[in-house]
Amino acid sequence: MNAASLVVCVLLLIPSVLSVAGENPGRVLKAGAATSNITPPLGMEIVGNFAPRPIAAHVHDELLARCLVLDDGTTKLAFVVADTISLGRDVWDEAKGKIEAATGIPAANMMFSATHTHSSVAAVTNADPSLDYRRFIIARVVDGVRRAVHHLEPARIGWGTGKVPQHVFNRRWKLKEGMTNPNPFGGLDRAVMNPGGAVRLKLAEPAGPTNPEVFCLSVQAADGRQIALMANYWLHYVGGVPREHLSADYFGEFCRQIESKLAPGPGDPPVVGLLANGPCGDVNNNDYSGKTPAVKREPYEKIKIVAGDLAAEVLRVRETLSHADWVPLQAATAELELAVRRPTPEMIAWAGSVLAKPKGAAAAHPLEQPYAERTLAARDAKPDSVTCVMQSFRIGDLGIAAIPFEVFTEVGLEIKAKSPFRSTFTIELANGSNGYLPTPPQHDLGGYETWLGTNRVEREASVKITAKILELLGRLKG
């Protein structure tokens, strides 16, 4: 390269260098956080398991909506992580509309998700006002975000990752070559969820990966006081909760430990911990490889172990972070239409035969009746497609994706690997709840998460969703 060419190259580089160096002066990042109690009344049905479902008789720990609002001076972003198994899009949309009217934050800039604790209730409307949980949870979420907005103050922000591999195991296992396991529809699967009993002898290998990382987003006041600490970990609920108890599971215990360790001085707003669940539709904390000795645990014991290990790692990562005084914030949202999955004529005939059995007749599969009911419900469901919210946020060079499904880990890992951002994590069960999201190859293996009624949309849905999320992340990065 000659001298003249070198000078041209240097001059071309100067504007981009100057734009980065001059991007922040005079700009102030603000943040505010709050919690809102969403504990339902006793007497409601706990919905985390198949029927017969227990009735809530005790509150072990309060269920909360944990809220964080960020403001870069131009754009506001709002997060809500709620201690509930899941919420339909209509519930979130109504809450967002009320918040937008009260605060001016666009609904498209709100990323609201459920933790997926199985010790919670459904957001249902009830003629008895004391049991109208839908109206109650919407009001409390709206209050929480408005309070977070009220707490906005100059802030700084940082993020990073740690690892907590000891609690994540793929719960789906492939069976040995030539071996199968019966499903409720009278068919045979090549993969099984949570294998127990005799099927353990058929196991070949886990059917998918896990993600050992925990993502950490730290938000501090200008004086270093912690405003909020948000984590993202790809693990299903832990459980070990008595059937009639309401509980936020390990998500709530993690937040309580974070808040206790980082408690501010008198007169300051309380620090808020948030734990947004990541793509873990095929992951839990049970090791079916036989390498981990089985230990009988007391109620809530395993929850405290998992939450304690997670909190310790997140607090360690927090100590290593560099916090920026300002970063740009952006949001991108799109509607994605997916076909509703329909049963075949053979499945409809099977369902009719199951439901026609006389009371007390022997069942070919322990779950045949609920899946027969789900099969006919899928036949009759209207309309023929569902429109889902696909969403991405940008916080500096951090990308955050949100998907309204129980997402398989491999989907989240693909998004992370292909994202244009240096760091990316995904939040599942965000802005709605549309069942499990297996990949097409996982559909071929079968197993609980792929069954009609557990999975409710077209076979290629994960491919379309991944493409749309990467498109949104690319739009933000561009």
Q: What is the pTM of this model?
A: 0.93
Q: What percent of the chain has pLDDT over 90?
A: 88
Is residue 21's pLDDT more than 50? no
Is residue 360's pLDDT more than 50? yes
Our CA dihedral for 47, 52, 57, 61, rounded to 10 degrees, sits at: -30
Check residue 7 and give its pLDDT: 37
393, β-bridge pairs: 331, 400
**Which DSSP helix (H) or strand (E) runs through 470?**
helix 461-477
Average pLDDT, the chain: 94
Q: Where are the domains of the chain?
A: 30-170+205-337+383-477, 341-380
Q: What is the pLDDT of residues 84-119, one digit of tens each?
A: 999 999 999 999 999 999 999 999 999 999 999 999
CA distances from 308 to 164, 312, 351, 367, 436 (A): 11, 6, 45, 35, 28
d(C-alpha 264, C-alpha 163), whole Å: 27
Planar angle of CA 451, 410, 301, nearest 5 degrees: 80
Q: Specify whether the CB–CB gap between 375 and 350 falls below 8 A.
A: yes
For residue 13, how many other CB atoms are within 10 A of its CB? 10
Q: Specify whether the CB–CB gap between 387 and 441 falls below 8 A.
A: no
For residue 76, how many other CB atoms are within 10 A of its CB? 21
Check residue 144 and give its pLDDT: 98
| DSSP line for 229-280 | EEEEE---------TTEE--HHHHHHHHHHHHHT---TTSPPPEEEEEE-S-
d(C-alpha 198, C-alpha 183), whole Å: 15
3-state SS class at 223: coil
For residue 48, how many other CB atoms are within 10 A of its CB? 18
Check residue 78 and give its pLDDT: 98
d(C-alpha 309, C-alpha 287), whole Å: 17
**Which DSSP helix (H) or strand (E) runs through 423?**
strand 423-428
Check residue 26 and give its pLDDT: 83
Q: What is the pLDDT of residues 262-291, one digit of tens each?
A: 999 888 999 999 999 999 999 999 999 989
Q: Specify whether the CB–CB gap between 217 and 230 falls below 8 A.
A: yes
**Helices then strands, each counted (H, E), the chain:** 10, 23
Q: Specify whether the CB–CB gap between 458 and 339 falls below 8 A.
A: yes
Q: Kindly give the residue spans of alpha helices, DSSP state H, lying in 286-364.
A: 301-320, 345-355
